[in-house]
Amino acid sequence: MSEEYIAGRKPVMEALRAGSPLNKLYVAAGNRRGLEDLLSLAHARRIPVSEVTPAVLDKMAPDSGHQGVVAAMAARAYATLDQILAVAAEKGESPFILILDGLEDPRNLGAIIRTAEAAAAHGVIIPERRSVGLTPAAVKTSAGASEYLPVARVTNLNRTIEELKEKGLWIIGADMNGPDYRTVDFAGAVCLVIGSEGKGLSRMVREHCDFLAAIPMRGQVGSLNASVAAGLLIYEVLRKRDARRSAGQG
């Protein structure tokens, strides 16, 4: 299921005005004349804008006159951080949230959403820039889970992490330099941070984490697929939470 696009100045402007879920705007490099209102509205809606060559736009919209602007459609609307926290509050549960730091493969995003929903997480947070969004491919891979698990897109992950800390969540990053994840206390209000497929956690995000947790690698390969690693950690959080609940600790 490939990404879907809206091409042309008027169709893109109408989509922006209608509040249609958009992942990103692409505009022809050096040709923003006449796009001032459109770009202002995109900025107001916090939709990332990238400059690309006309050849790239031609490839995105080969059968339509793109007029120097193409919008990538999101497969569904994004939630807010407050809406994710409200899900936990409505259930009377300590928040369990995932932050995905720079994930690039929509199939990994979809797989993580599917696992997180199955483990009763309350939501997923992704950054606006340098990250895959809720594309049709991601939604398809989630196998329906994206309809139930809210996904928020934020401007600044570090600021969001600090906001979550203020609300009482412990921030635990998946990183090979941390202790064995089986020794980490995941009970209580937790935000699990998963890094990108190739680079892992970015330096600033790692420094904002309260703790790190590593998955021991005993074979010849040095790392796991991002969605597989996330799955192991997600279910460790669930196991620790269930154990705490069984012990009558909430």
pLDDT at 223: 76
pLDDT at 217: 87
Q: Percent of the chain beyond pLDDT 90?
A: 54
Global pTM value: 0.79
- Stretch 225-240: mean pLDDT: 94
pLDDT at 198: 82
Q: Phi then psi for 106, rounded to 5 degrees? A: -60, -30
Q: Provide the H-helix boundaries in the chain.
A: 9-17, 36-44, 54-60, 81-91, 106-118, 136-141, 157-166, 203-208, 226-246
CATH classification (class only), 5-73? alpha beta
Looking at residue 219, its amino acid is: G
Confidence of residue 1 (pLDDT cuts 50, 70, 90): very low
Q: Is the model's pLDDT at 64 over the cut of 70? A: no
Q: How far is CA 82 from the centre of its chain?
A: 15
Could you give the CA distance from residue 234 to residue 206 in angstroms, rounded to a whole number?
18
Could you give the CA distance from residue 162 to residue 104 in angstroms, rounded to a whole number?
24
Residues 6 or more apart whose Cβ sits within 8 Å of residue 118: 145
Crossing angle for the helix pair 157-166 and 81-91, to the nearest 10 degrees: 30
The correct answer on CATH 3.40.1280.10 for the domain covering 81-246 is yes
Residues 6 or more apart whose Cβ sits within 8 Å of residue 59: none
**Per-residue pLDDT tens for 102-118?**
999 999 999 999 999 99
Confidence of residue 140 (pLDDT cuts 50, 70, 90): confident
Residue 17 vs residue 168, higher pLDDT? 168
pLDDT at 3: 65
Report yes or no: 178 and 209 within 8 Å, Cβ to Cβ. Answer: no
**Size of the chain, expressed as the number of residues it contains:** 250
- Stretch 138-165: mean pLDDT: 92
Could you give the CA distance from residue 227 to residue 114 in angstroms, rounded to a whole number?
10
For 30, left (φ over 0), alpha (ψ -120 to 50), or beta? left
Q: Percent of the chain beyond pLDDT 70?
A: 97
Residue 19: Cβ-neighbour burial (10 angstroms; 0-12, 13-18, 19+): exposed
Looking at residue 167, its amino acid is: K
Could you give the CA distance from residue 46 to residue 248 in angstroms, rounded to a whole number?
43
pLDDT at 249: 64
All CATH 3.40.1280.10 domain ranges of the chain, comma separated, are: 81-246
